[in-house]
């Protein structure tokens, strides 16, 4: 029986996860109850020792994790994982 994907390709991180690592961005479910702000993307280096973002104006928000990542990228003029050179 043949494999659907080669084992080495499954062991690699996705382009989106590599992009998040490169820019030091995390994305988590938000504590906001407002519609459209269910997910929060934030810079790890701008967090308190407890891991809470210290500057909410620098965060990206959205109804999905992808939307939150797009929001933070637009806010800080960072090309997305599929917009960078070599993507």
pLDDT of 35-85, one tens digit each?
889 999 999 988 888 878 888 899 999 999 999 999 999 999 999 999 977
Residue 31, pLDDT above cutoff 60: yes
Spatial separation of the C-alpha atoms in residues 39 and 26, rounded to whole Å: 11
C-beta separation of 36 from 62 below 8 A: yes
Per-residue pLDDT tens for 11-22?
Answer: 888 999 999 999
Q: Which residue has the tokens 């800080």?
A: 76
Residue 66 DSSP SS3:
helix
Query: What pLDDT, on the 0 to 100 scale, is given for residue 87?
Result: 56
DSSP for 25-49, written as a single string: EEEEE-S--STT-SEEEEEGGGB-T
Spatial separation of the C-alpha atoms in residues 68 and 51, rounded to whole Å: 18
Residue 1, pLDDT above cutoff 70: no
Query: What pLDDT, on the 0 to 100 scale, is given for residue 16?
Result: 95
- Rounded to the nearest 5 percent, the helix, strand and coil shares of the chain are 35, 15, 45
């Amino acid at each position: 029986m043949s494999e659907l994907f080669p084992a080495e390709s499954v062991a690699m991180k996705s382009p989106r996860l590599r992009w998040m690592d490169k820019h030091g961005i995390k994305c988590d479910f938000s504590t906001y109850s407002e519609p459209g702000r269910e997910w929060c993307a934030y810079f790890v280096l701008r967090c308190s020792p407890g891991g809470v973002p210290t500057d909410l104006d620098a965060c990206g928000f959205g109804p999905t994790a992808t939307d939150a990542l797009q929001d933070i990228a637009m806010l800080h003029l960072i090309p997305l994982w599929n917009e960078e050179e070599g993507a």
